[in-house]
Structure 1
């Protein structure tokens, strides 16, 4: 990560316009909606997402999350919701990734990588030509009931840090982040952005105090990195 650049903040698992407004007021750069993901408890109806994305002010990015594996179905979900960005939860085929880039040339595409081992590095070369960024998350997508994210668990950040170092495109970090660990995570991994879901929720509702505490720690991490860079200069 360039130490002179601010870490982007994405708040995921949005369920209402009220939560969107809370996130925007707290200075979030992006908001996310879980759609077409049957295993998630935070799935929101596509039509409701479409109603919300129409009124989210720019430059706030709207992410639609989908576990679909076929490019045509993914593209259909994006068009139904009107989201500016699609977050692809499954490790789709190279052919579908390429086709999706052709079907959605004006939509930002984010490929999720579930960090389970150093084999994650192999996905950099596979996908980087067809997506705009990666998102590193905790999860086990190959289970009988797949875990695509929102687990509340962290993963091995040393692997994530090396992934960021190798990747030619921006990388978001997700997975168990909260106000108590995000400063350490940013300093170690140096991601382009961080993604928050369960770490800002109480009883599955967005908690403004947790959200503000998280954002304060992100800003502190950025300030610390900037100060360190000036000392090196």
Structure 2
């Protein structure tokens, strides 16, 4: 195995696509929010690790470690890097020790993903790609061998990375990616308690992600516990029906 001779590690890196669904919630900026989100039933807790002020939800490595120790083992931690520098990204992983690294920078190519994934093992690698007409299938195909999870998000209109727009995209494209993908696909982009059931029925993803629509309105990165609970409940019900 390219991931070394330890068979347990290799097995741990092969997520079961047909296992229980995954519900991922971004983006925690306090231990309190994270614990409430884990208790609501979120499987994956998202953190954005960046210099304060880069984005509203950015937190530092110390707070990230505190949050992760507070939510484990109930939930797994996903740490997002906005960096396009491979060494910088890996240094963040070493400092935070999340369960999953989430990369979004467009400059990161599939070969960079392969390099990073090898370097951070057994931490898993999630890549977000934007759903854009004509490009998405090619891009998803190109990442099949270098990721543990693929995330489909709505294309960003403002910041130079995929996602966090709070808007949905063409779910029929996402459905095709899910049907073709050998790795688990997480659907993101404008999902809320109101539309997540329709999204799950239409796309049949392995997981779903919520950021904007589980925030306190107007307070990016501050979670609304009632909205989080409603999202998790709606997603769990819908996953039970596919």
TM-score interval, smaller chain: 0.7 to 0.9
* 2:216 matches 1:199: no
Query: Is the Cα–Cα contact under 8 Å of residues 12 and 31 in structure 1 kept in the other structure?
Result: yes
User: How many residues are aligned here?
Assistant: 222
Match of 1:121 in 2: 137
Query: Is the Cα–Cα contact under 8 Å of residues 105 and 161 in structure 2 kept in the other structure?
Result: no
Q: Of the candidates 103, 112, 128, which is equivalent to residue 112 of structure 1?
A: 128
Query: Is the Cα–Cα contact under 8 Å of residues 138 and 153 in structure 1 kept in the other structure?
Result: yes
1:147 is displaced (CA, Å) by 4.3
Higher mean C-alpha displacement, 37-46 vs 63-72: 37-46
**What secondary structure, in the 3-state scheme, does the structure 2 residue paired with 1:154 have?**
coil
Query: Is the Cα–Cα contact under 8 Å of residues 193 and 230 in structure 2 kept in the other structure?
Result: yes
**What secondary structure, in the 3-state scheme, does the structure 2 residue paired with 1:77 have?**
helix
Aligned-residue RMSD, C-alpha: 2.1
**What secondary structure, in the 3-state scheme, does the structure 2 residue paired with 1:118 have?**
coil
**Is there any run of 5+ residues in structure 2 with no aligned partner, and where?**
1-15
Match of 1:136 in 2: 152
Match of 1:208 in 2: 225
1:208 is displaced (CA, Å) by 1.7
Match of 1:164 in 2: 178
Match of 2:238 in 1: 221
Match of 1:97 in 2: 113
Relative to 1, partners in 2 of residues 1:56 and 1:212: Cα closer, same or farther, differing over 3 Å? closer
**Is there any run of 5+ residues in structure 1 with no aligned partner, and where?**
226-233
How far apart, in 2, do the equivalents of 1:19 and 1:83 lie?
Answer: 17
Query: Is the Cα–Cα contact under 8 Å of residues 176 and 199 in structure 1 kept in the other structure?
Result: yes
Match of 2:160 in 1: 146
Using structure 2 for the length normalisation, give the TM-score. Answer: 0.85
1:54 is displaced (CA, Å) by 3.0
* 2:60 matches 1:45: yes
Deviation track 1:87-107 (CA, whole Å, cap 9, x = no partner) reads 111231233212112211211
Match of 2:8 in 1: none
How far apart, in 2, do the equivalents of 1:4 and 1:46 lie?
Answer: 33
Relative to 1, partners in 2 of residues 1:39 and 1:114: Cα closer, same or farther, differing over 3 Å? farther
Query: Is the Cα–Cα contact under 8 Å of residues 154 and 169 in structure 2 kept in the other structure?
Result: yes
